Amino acid sequence: MPDVACVVDPDGVLLYVSAAFERVFGYTRDEVLGRHVFDLVHPEDREATREQAARLMEGLGARHFRNRYVHRAGHAVDLLWSAQWLPEHGVRVAVGRDVTELRRLERELEHRANHDALTGLANRQRLHELLEHAIADASRTDTPLALLYIDIDAFKAVNDAHGHEAGDRVLVEVARRLQAGLWHGGTVARMGGDEFVALLPGCDDQGARGVIEALHVQLLVPFGVAGGYVPIGASIGAAAYPADAQQPDALINRADSAMYACKRRRAPAVTPA
């Protein structure tokens, strides 16, 4: 059968493996019989697998579970197991299905749902999740938290003069530079268009000012487009938790308002005709 079947004693020593074991894990039957099955489990999943086995023998654990094994070639293999403890025989019997490709697709879909397709940054939805966790952590540990709202200046002129493809390349480079100028442990998210947000856990007002200066420096170097270089700047507004707001949306709105105030201050004066 295509699925792996194995039998182990109460300590996890392999007593039997089916022919599919070699196809899935790369080990022949002779190489694994007599070995502890936990030695083949991925190190990060080993303790949880031991606990699952112990609970199964106590009649408390779920019969179905997932874990990862290490293939003989060194890569990880994701398995979905169905296991049963047979106390009258003193063995655990398990049947495992290789779900590595399914897990890869799950991770890919999860990444797409939480990241911007163009820049690879966290998207608006993911930012809200991260911000909720960051506020909870800041409240629990009584540590500061800063949020920066970043709007790229004159980006529309880039699209108008050089086309949307050039504009997309500029946005990708903007994302890279913003990450390069970030506070340690911070996250940059793309809100949409030419607007970005930087989440800075553990960052106070002074630290936020330092990050803003670093971001301005990163964006100071002109961006290369077909036919030359274009200057790109940014208007950046900051908001602090808990001084400015205590809720995620309120904190984002406060930083957004501060960004627009910054943009108005930097706008050139209009000379009457």
The string over 178-215, giving b where at least 16 C-beta atoms fall within 10 Å of a residue's C-beta and e elsewhere, is bbebbbeebbbbbbeebbbbbbbbbbeeeebeebbebb
Counting residues of the chain whose pLDDT is more than 90, the rounded percentage is 78
Instruction: Indicate which residue of 194, 204, 205, 249 is catalytic.
Output: 194
Q: What is the pLDDT of residue 24?
A: 96
**Across-strand partners of 263?**
none
- Asked whether residue 156 carries a pLDDT value surpassing 90, the answer given is no
Q: What is the mean pLDDT of residues 129-139?
A: 96
CB 79 within 8 A of CB 94: no
pLDDT reported for residue 264: 84
Q: What is the mean pLDDT of residues 253-266?
A: 90
Q: Spell out the SS3 assignment of 74-100.
A: CCEEEEEEEEEEECCCCEEEEEEEECH
Domain boundaries 115-266, corresponding CATH code = 3.30.70.270
Residue scoring higher pLDDT (101 or 162): 101
Token pair of 39 as six digits: 């030695």
Domains 4-104 and 115-266 share a fold: no
What pLDDT is attached to residue 18?
Answer: 96
Give the per-residue pLDDT at 225: 84
Nearest to 45 by CA among 18, 67, 13, 73: 67
Tell me which of 153-162, 179-188, 203-212 is least confident.
153-162
pLDDT in tens, 105-119: 999 999 999 999 999
Per-residue confidence band for 273, with pLDDT thresholds at 50, 70 and 90: very low
Specify burial of residue 13 (Cβ count, 10 A radius: 0-12, 13-18, 19+).
Answer: middle
Report the percent of the chain where pLDDT is more than 70: 97
Mean local confidence (pLDDT), 35-61: 93
Identify the pLDDT of residue 157: 83
> Is 45 among the catalytic positions?
no
CA distance 53 to 84: 10
Secondary structure of the chain in the HEC alphabet?
CCCEEEEECCCCEEEEECCHHHHHHCCCHHHHCCCEHHHHECHHHHHHHHHHHHHHHCCCCCCEEEEEEECCCCCEEEEEEEEEEECCCCEEEEEEEECHHHHHHHHHHHHHHHECCCCCCECHHHHHHHHHHHHHHHHHHCCCEEEEEEEEECHHHHHHHHCHHHHHHHHHHHHHHHHHCCCCCCEEEEEECCEEEEEEECCCHHHHHHHHHHHHHHHHCCEEECCEEECCEEEEEEEEECCCCCCHHHHHHHHHHHHHHHHHHHCCCCCCC
Does domain 4-104 bear CATH number 3.40.228.10?
no
pLDDT surpasses 60 at 215: yes
* Residue 232 pLDDT: 86
pLDDT category of residue 263 using cuts at 50, 70 and 90: confident
78-108 per-position pLDDT tens digit: 999 999 999 999 999 999 999 999 999 999 9
Q: What is the pLDDT of residue 269?
A: 41
Instruction: Count other Cβ atoms within 10 Å, centred on residue 28.
Output: 13
d(CA 132, CA 249): 10
Residue 271's pLDDT is 34
* pLDDT (0 to 100) of residue 73: 96
Domain ranges of the chain: 4-104, 115-266
How much is the average pLDDT of 223-237? 86
- Identify the weakest region by mean pLDDT among 26-35, 60-69, 200-209: 60-69
Q: Which of 34-43, 131-140, 192-201, 217-226 has the lowest average pLDDT?
A: 217-226
